[in-house]
Structure 1
Amino acid sequence: MFEKIEMLRMARAMGQHTQARHIEVARNIAHADTPGFRAHDLQPFAETYRQAEEGGTLRVSNARHLDAPQWSPGGARVIEVAGPVSPNGNSVSLEEEMVRAAEVKSSHDRSLTIYRSGLDLLRSSLGRR
């Protein structure tokens, strides 16, 4: 029932994107001293969500196959972050990763706020508030 409400679906997708981005930031921080490691990040949420809306879904070739969800974190493309490279070939900057971690926290809080607002609207419409 709640999957058909666009605002709740978008908040859920934003939360999943934030989770996947947090994993990439943590992976970058973990490999800060690994020689030759290149920093990665995800495409911005707006781009991945728009691509999913434009028809980026998987094609089902057999009736017994399950349809892909309208948006999934698998739709977010991992991109290499451009930046200065240290002498050992590592491109991870801990300062930039800390800034990304703060952006991830802000995005997570935003998705929770949107989801809570949607639930408050549903409760109000049902007269339970």
Structure 2
Amino acid sequence: MFEKLEILQMASAMASHAAARQAVVSQNIANADTPGYAARELPKFSELYRSEAAAPLRATRAGHVGGGETIRATASPRTDPGATSPDGNAVSLEEEMVKAVEVRRQHDLALAIYRSSLTVLRSAIGRG
């Protein structure tokens, strides 16, 4: 019953997106000395969530699995890589550290939304 609530689905998707972004940031930092490595990034959560919510998948027969439960995105090379080093590496450790802080904030926000929603639900059933 509660897994169908839109706010909980959004919070879960936001936390998953933050985890995926953190993995991409970690890969970028790990490859900061790799010659020719292009920094990668994921699209913003708001862009992905809007696109998923606008055109959800639908099951056309009984064997299909319903879509829209998770947001999936693939990391792509950064469109504006900025300065590159002489060996062709486009990773800026300073930018990646700033992105790591943004990801942490996104994850904390997702948990806060989830926590607040649970508090509202507990109050609604008289256990808050």
Is the TM value for this pair above 0.5? Answer: yes
Identity level (%): 48
Preserved contact between residue 14 and residue 111 of structure 1 (Cα < 8 Å): yes
Identify the residue that residue 65 of structure 2 maps to in structure 1.
Answer: 66
Q: Distance between the aligned counterparts of 1:2 and 1:77, measured in 2?
A: 29
Unaligned runs of 5+ in 1: none
Q: Distance between the aligned counterparts of 1:19 and 1:33, measured in 2?
A: 23
With structure 2 as the length reference, what TM-score do the two structures score? 0.90
- When the two structures are aligned, how many residues end up with a matched partner? 126
Q: CA deviation at 1:2?
A: 1.8
Alignment of 1:36-47 (within 5 A): 36-47=36-47
Alignment of 1:38-117 (within 5 A): 38-57=38-57, 63-68=62-67, 70-74=68-72, 76-81=73-78, 82=80, 83-117=82-116
Identify the residue that residue 125 of structure 1 maps to in structure 2.
Answer: 124
Q: Distance between the aligned counterparts of 2:116 and 2:16, measured in 1?
A: 18
List 4+ stretches of structure 1 deviating above 4 A: 59-62
SS of alignment partner, residue 124 of structure 1: helix
Q: What does the per-residue CA deviation read over 1:68-125, in whole Å, with 9 as the maximum and x for residues that have no partner?
A: 3x14242x24232222111101000000000000000000100000000000000000
With structure 1 as the length reference, what TM-score do the two structures score? 0.89
Unaligned runs of 5+ in 2: none
Q: Distance between the aligned counterparts of 1:39 and 1:12, measured in 2?
A: 26
